[in-house]
Amino acid sequence: MATNKLALLRYKTINECLKNRFRKWTLEDLIERVSNALYEYEGITSGVSRR
Helices and strands, number each (H, E), in the chain: 2, 0
Predicted confidence (pLDDT) per residue in 29-49, tens digit: 999 999 999 999 888 878 777
DSSP 23: S
Q: Is residue 49 part of a domain?
A: no
Predicted confidence (pLDDT) per residue in 1-27, tens digit: 566 888 999 999 999 999 999 999 999
Please give the pLDDT value at position 2: 64
How many domains are contained in the chain? Answer: 1
Please give the pLDDT value at position 1: 56
Please give the pLDDT value at position 48: 79
Q: Is residue 22 part of a domain?
A: yes
27-42 vs 3-19: helix axis angle to the nearest 10? 130
Q: Is residue 48 part of a domain?
A: no
Parent domain of 23? 3-42
